[in-house]
């Protein structure tokens, strides 16, 4: 009899509805009271960065944060130094280094997992066709003539199933997977940032060594001139052999220092070659000069959002968010699973009978699974997920503190170098003045050539300090840019 709104409800439907209602009612008795994350997230404001707020957010109230801006954003941060060769080296590194491809593969794996979990929100439909030749037991449920006989069986069927996500388990699992995707993306960006910083610092190191090499050559030339002068004066009886030995003794030390600089330059090129994926391919690299690099302005304060956009901080926050979703998944395990399963197809004994009338079969009905007693397994599982969140929160807190320290260290270093540079410039000016006086006295016949060369050595020493301070400034600025997530610092 066809069903109509005025027909009596079939008894089996009433029983199914009663079972579902009972399951829902028992689900309301799920007990996970007192289990949850305990750690609290320390926001950067609480550390005095651009805000006087000292409130720390509990882990349970964390909202999904935006993905950090890629270090490949236009224009990239390293281009602010104004060196085309540095730009090319960083681009080569970002294209060729295996570590970045590993990070990208991890992003793809996390994305695939989230796609798999997302598929649970859609109906699942499958089809099957079976053909079997079977002997039916004579001592089982099969009646004659099947009992004890050998027959062919055929089955063609389509099965559909759908899980009702009434308690948000699938949604929470998807949120957790998406959180892991965001964390993997941020990790990949952190790898980009680290690699770009390593290339930039290695390049600046090479520039420093090149400048020191040029200075060492000048120093060697001056010492050789002084040696020649002493030899002439000794021949004229104006100097002693002791003075000659003293002049000769300084040359091996200077030559040894020049050789050590050549070694350092080769090692710096090797490091750049490895970072850019070109092993031993940069031996002839002609780097620019320190004076051509554009120094950056030191900010008076670091805006809060710069630290929030650091890829590693964003990754840590994404893992906290994913962990909170995992807690929701564990809580949903206390509630019943409700599935609707339906199938339709054909079944027959004898292959030729499957298409005949009467071979049709179908079925539909709910499936309810409710945890009643598991020996505390679900509560233990929830405690484990909550503990994982506490670990992720404390890792985030430690990372924020470390990020603040890194920024503070680099700003302190840059401010100190600026003060040292002022003193060094004063010392250089004084040494140059003494050099000018010595040159004038020598021109007037009031002093020897040796005094002129010695005054030149003092100037070279000051110039060496200037090179070291300039290189340290660029290195600290690169580290500061990394500490702020590759963000462009405002003057």
The structural domains of the chain, ordered by start, are 11-122+165-335+370-483 (1.20.1600.10)
Kindly report which listed range (151-155, 190-194, 249-253) carries the lowest average pLDDT score: 249-253
pLDDT at residue 424, as a whole number: 92
Query: Which among 67, 29, 59, 20 has a CA at the least distance from the CA of 43?
Result: 59
pLDDT at residue 57, as a whole number: 45
pLDDT at 14 over 60: no
CA-CA distance, 346 to 355, in Å (whole number)?
8
DSSP string, 438-479: HHHHHHTTSS-HHHHHHHHHHHHHHHHHHHHHHHHHHHHHHH
pLDDT at residue 17, as a whole number: 55
pLDDT at residue 426, as a whole number: 93
Residue found by looking up tokens 């055929």 in the block: 154
pLDDT at 3 over 50: no
Q: What are 290's two structure tokens?
A: 């320190």
Over residues 164-183, mean pLDDT = 83
pLDDT at residue 425, as a whole number: 92
DSSP string, 8-77: PPPHHHHHHHHHHHHHHHHHTT---TT-S---EE--GGGGTSS------EEGGGPPPPPPPPPTTSSSPG
CA-CA distance, 222 to 457, in Å (whole number)?
8
Q: What does R_g of the chain's alpha carbons equal in angstroms?
A: 39
Spell out the long-range contacts of 399-404 with Cβ–Cβ below 8 A and sequence spacing 24 or more.
Answer: 399/312, 399/313, 399/316, 400/42, 400/43, 400/44, 400/47, 400/307, 400/313, 401/42, 401/47, 403/44, 403/307, 403/310, 403/312, 403/313, 403/483, 404/44, 404/47, 404/49, 404/307
Kindly report which listed range (47-56, 182-191, 298-307, 372-381) carries the lowest average pLDDT score: 47-56
pLDDT at 23 over 70: no
Over residues 72-88, mean pLDDT = 82
Angle at 251 between CA 249 and CA 253, to 5 degrees: 85
Q: What are 415's two structure tokens?
A: 């401010």
**pLDDT confidence band for 107 (50 / 70 / 90):** confident
DSSP, collapsed to helix, strand or coil, labels residue 170 as helix
pLDDT at 105 over 50: yes
CA-CA distance, 179 to 320, in Å (whole number)?
8
Comparing 323 with 251, the larger pLDDT belongs to 323
Query: Which among 37, 32, 41 has a CA at the least distance from the CA of 385?
Result: 37
CA-CA distance, 308 to 299, in Å (whole number)?
17
Highest mean pLDDT among 37-41, 458-462, 471-475: 471-475
Query: Which among 346, 288, 440 has a CA at the least distance from the CA of 156?
Result: 346
Q: Are 201 and 478 in contact (CB under 8 A)?
A: yes
Cα 55 from chain centroid (whole Å) = 27
**pLDDT confidence band for 416 (50 / 70 / 90):** very high
CA-CA distance, 233 to 284, in Å (whole number)?
43
pLDDT at residue 6, as a whole number: 42
Query: Which among 329, 328, 484, 322 has a CA at the least distance from the CA of 393?
Result: 322
pLDDT at 137 over 90: no
pLDDT at 283 over 90: no
Over residues 148-153, mean pLDDT = 86
**pLDDT confidence band for 205 (50 / 70 / 90):** very high
pLDDT at 305 over 50: yes
Query: Which among 156, 158, 155 has a CA at the least distance from the CA of 123?
Result: 158
Highest mean pLDDT among 15-29, 113-127, 141-155, 409-423: 409-423
Q: Are 304 and 53 in contact (CB under 8 A)?
A: no
pLDDT at 312 over 50: yes
pLDDT at 377 over 80: yes
The pLDDT mean for the chain works out to 79
Q: What are 48's two structure tokens?
A: 């005095």
Buried b (16+ CB within 10 A) or exposed e, 142-170: eeeebeeeebebbbbbeeeebbebebbbb
CA-CA distance, 73 to 311, in Å (whole number)?
13
* 156 phi, psi to nearest 5 deg: -130, 125
pLDDT at 423 over 90: yes
pLDDT at residue 373, as a whole number: 66
Whole-structure pTM value: 0.76
Q: What are 391's two structure tokens?
A: 């670990």
């Amino acid at each position: 009899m066809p069903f109509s709104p005025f027909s009596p409800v079939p008894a089996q439907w009433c029983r199914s509805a009663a079972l579902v209602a009972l399951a829902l009612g028992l689900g309301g008795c799920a007990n996970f009271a007192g289990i949850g994350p305990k750690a609290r997230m320390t926001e950067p404001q609480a550390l005095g960065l651009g805000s006087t707020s000292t409130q720390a957010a509990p882990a349970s109230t964390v909202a999904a944060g935006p993905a950090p801006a890629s270090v490949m954003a236009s224009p990239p941060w390293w281009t602010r130094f104004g060196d085309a060769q540095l730009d090319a080296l960083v681009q080569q590194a970002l294209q060729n280094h295996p570590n970045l491809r590993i990070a990208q593969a991890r992003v793809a794996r996390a994305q695939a997992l989230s796609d798999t979990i997302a598929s649970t929100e859609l109906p699942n439909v499958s089809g099957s066709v079976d053909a079997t030749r079977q002997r039916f037991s004579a001592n089982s449920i099969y009646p004659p003539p099947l009992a004890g006989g050998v027959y062919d069986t055929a089955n063609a069927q389509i099965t559909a199933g759908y899980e009702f996500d009434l308690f948000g388990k699938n949604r929470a699992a998807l949120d957790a997977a998406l959180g892991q995707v965001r964390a993997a993306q941020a990790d990949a960006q952190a790898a980009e940032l680290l690699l770009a910083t390593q290339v930039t610092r290695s390049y600046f190191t090479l520039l420093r060594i090149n400048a020191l090499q040029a200075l060492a050559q000048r120093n060697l030339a001056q010492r050789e001139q002084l040696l020649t002068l002493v030899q002439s004066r000794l021949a004229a009886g104006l100097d002693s052999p002791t003075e000659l030995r003293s002049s000769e003794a300084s040359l091996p030390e200077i030559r040894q220092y020049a050789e050590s600089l050549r070694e350092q330059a080769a090692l710096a090129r090797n490091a750049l070659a490895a970072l850019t994926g070109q092993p031993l391919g940069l031996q002839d690299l002609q780097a620019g000069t320190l004076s051509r690099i554009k120094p950056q302005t030191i900010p008076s304060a670091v805006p809060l959002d710069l630290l929030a956009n650091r890829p590693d901080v964003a990754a840590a926050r994404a893992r906290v968010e994913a962990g909170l979703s995992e807690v929701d998944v564990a809580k949903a395990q206390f509630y019943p699973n409700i599935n609707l399963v339906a199938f339709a197809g054909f079944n027959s004994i004898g292959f030729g009978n499957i298409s005949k009338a009467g071979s049709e079969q179908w079925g539909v009905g709910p499936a309810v699974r409710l945890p009643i007693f598991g020996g505390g397994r679900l509560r233990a599982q929830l405690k484990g997920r909550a503990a994982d969140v506490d670990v992720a929160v404390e890792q985030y807190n430690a990372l924020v503190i470390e990020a603040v320290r890194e920024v503070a260290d680099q700003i302190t270093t840059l401010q100190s170098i600026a003060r040292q540079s002022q003193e060094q410039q004063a010392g250089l000016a004084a040494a140059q003045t003494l050099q000018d006086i010595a040159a004038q006295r020598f021109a007037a016949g009031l002093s020897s050539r040796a005094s002129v060369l010695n005054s030149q050595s003092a100037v070279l020493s000051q110039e060496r300090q200037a090179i070291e301070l300039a290189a340290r400034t660029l290195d600290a600025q690169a580290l500061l840019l990394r500490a702020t997530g590759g963000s462009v610092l405002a003057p």
